[in-house]
Structure 1
Amino acid sequence: MTWLGWALLSAVFAAATALLAKVGIKGIDSNLATAIRTTVVLVFTWAIAIGLEKHNGLAQIGRRSWLFLLLSGIATGLSWLCYFRALQMGPASSVAPVDKLSVVIVIICAWLFLGETLTPAKLLGGGLITAGAIVLAFA
């Protein structure tokens, strides 16, 4: 499968995450809900890594990769905590589009820090995502 297939599956599972979480957090603290979800992700992903015997590669991971993976994990945790709190407070159909402004932030940061090309199509697409998020957030 190509990157596009995996990205589409990611979008489907992200949508399921928002909908399932919105129902699941009713009546409980959003931080506790995030901790439960994170525990499930931890167990699930390690089961896959061990089941596919990918855990043997731990020794080959360099210090730089460890650092950036750890920072990415912290960013993920903070994102999830904020996302679950937002879901608890607002409608999923408004929270999810605002969360997807991360796409626009990635486009800009990938251009600034990773040297990726900022094409007119990416500018237009990012602008449309921004406009769509604003419309959906206040619809």
Structure 2
Amino acid sequence: MTNADVAYLLHDGKNEIREIEPVINRKASAREQLTALFNDKKQAIEANIQATVEERNSILAQLQNIYDTAIGQIDQDRSNAQVDKTASLNLQTIHDLDVHPIKKPDAEKTINDDLARVTALVQNYRKVSDRNKADALKL
């Protein structure tokens, strides 16, 4: 092999190295997955009519915080393994996040309990005819 051959191989090798373009898609893919799940979860929370506005807003704030933290961490991650771990943990956290309505179901239970109590009182009241009882229960 001559010096000219070595020079040619070196030049050719440098050109091949210049043509290499790193594929940067691990972080982008993780961001896309998180964003898609974030948007789906946000819509589901907003559509939950059993929760009060305050309950929905509280869980939406938690969701936004988890999402923002995850995206920030992915930006800081330096290896594919770190990106995968961050994405996996936060995807699961977002998936598991849910509204647990308390106020409306409690109110409905109270109303139903009161209705059952009043219905029992009306039905057991002996001084009123069955027809009057039926009319009273229609209201």
Scaled by the length of structure 1, what TM-score is found? 0.30
Which has the greater radius of gyration? 2
Scaled by the length of structure 2, what TM-score is found? 0.30
